A and B are shown apart, each in its own frame.
Chain A
């Protein structure tokens, strides 16, 4: 803890020193950045931009989870469906996703719809893959135990596969939230808008207001890291029995 605080102090110190000494760079110091952020906040511009941006994030992310989780579980339960869709999802997952933005803009315009669609298609593969792997990896013994007690298919699903899946679902939620935020930022950067955080960035950038640019970037990155940290907390606190079952698809994606 001490080491961490010390390193944070050093980082901020170096930044400060850079902003003072190398003024040719025009690098604003920590105080100026916080000040710029404060002004953005008190004028309400940050909040209104954030609410626009977070609106599409919430809609796209929720949709991705509502569809991705059941899809993944279904793939795990119906093996041929899983085998069929898995390569498609994997291919989507590894491709450089920002490439589809120009196409999506052609299809959906530059309004909320395109952000929602982008965040959704960006997030769904990862969510579904993690849930698929969870359902697929249900230990055969656990299923066989249920069979020896004459469980029906339906009972096996509700009493074995689904409970086993719970930690995987939470992992998929954490990864999904992380991805949705990344998608949100990419969408803000690549799609012309007149309202969201991306507009704020472009506006400040055009006015050569580097303090604001830095402030907004820091704010976005902290927001993303914070959201993932919160999800991680929830993930580890859920299900007291989860010791012994680990579920991590790992990785983030753009």
Chain B
């Protein structure tokens, strides 16, 4: 207990895992040409250049932001009301539910081809891609929030003489708030994924341009640095939003 416990406290298991992965990668990279597998320090130094000294990645991220934010905001603006409506009205759910579900589980990335057809290769097809990526998850999460409003909460409001509109505004909507926050987090995660895919398939700009450019020039170190950038970005945003989620809805126990 004592010795092992202390060791585990000082060297945490995830740290061990990362160390092992990096060590394995380093060993593998020794026998490989640089364009196949660069060593960890090479990737790290490229990462440093791309984010700090040069900062190209931030510029690229800025270019990507437009599609991400517009598509995400559209999905939020449509998804939240639609989801709550579907969750509180059976009719609407029956009509719209199957389509939303189908979009949720099916490979929506196939639609990008269609978007190129419809909108060309500018900003619009990327916005559309982001939208179809994140709208379903936002709708379905908000739907759950509205539908899972406990009957007793609704009935208490009725007993106090609330009108249907009041029941909706005072019980269903507040009950959905934590779900809306969760929906934002899940939606943002999907939006990033949609953005990157769109930048690779639809129109080559922003981070997607970086990725394909580096691949084209066999600059594997930069390519890997960009991938790590995305990995860290995704993780950072997710854990930040998880924090935010807990902070804004202190009454909630579980998602």
Contacts and interface: CB of A to CB of B under 8 A. Distances in A.
Do A and B pair up? The answer is yes
Interface of A: 3-4, 6-7, 11, 25, 80-81, 83-88, 90-92, 94-103, 105-107, 178, 181-182, 184-186, 189-190, 201, 205, 210, 213-214, 216-217, 220-222, 224-225, 228-229, 251-254
Given A99-B226, A106-B220, A213 B114 contact: yes
Contacts of B35: 106
Contact of A80 (B13, B214, B226): B13
A177 B214 CA distance: 32
B196 A99 contact: yes
B107 A98 contact: no
B218 A106 contact: yes
A224 B105 contact: yes
A178 B193 CA distance: 16
- Where chain A touches its partner, the secondary structure class is helix
B105 A83 contact: no
A222 B231 CA distance: 31
12 contacts: A7-B96, A83-B14, A84-B17, A85-B17, A88-B17, A94-B189, A95-B227, A98-B193, A98-B197, A182-B107, A205-B117, A217-B110
B201 A189 contact: yes
B192 A181 contact: no
Contacts of A181: 106-107
B1 interface: no
A219 to B, nearest CB: 9
A84 B13 contact: yes
Contact size range, B:
35 or more
Contacts of B12: 83
Contact of B230 (A96, A184, A185): A96
Contacts of A101: 200
A182 B234 contact: no
Interface of B: 8, 12-14, 16-18, 21, 35-37, 91, 94-96, 98-99, 101-102, 104-114, 116-118, 133, 137, 186, 189-190, 192-197, 200-201, 207, 211-212, 214-215, 218, 220, 223-224, 226-227, 230-231, 234-235, 238
A189 B113 contact: yes
B146 to A, nearest CB: 17
Contacts of A106: 35-36, 215, 218, 220, 223
Nearest to B213: A102
Contacts of B110: 185, 189, 201, 216-217, 220-221
Closest 7 CB pairs of A and B: A102-B215, A84-B13, A185-B107, A96-B196, A84-B17, A221-B106, A224-B106
B71 to A, nearest CB: 14
B179 to A, nearest CB: 13
B212 to A, nearest CB: 6
B228 to A, nearest CB: 9
A224 B111 CA distance: 13
B113 A222 contact: no
Given A7-B95, A185-B109, A213-B117, A91 B231 contact: yes
B207 A99 contact: yes
A205 B113 contact: yes
Given A84-B16, A217-B113, A96 B195 contact: yes
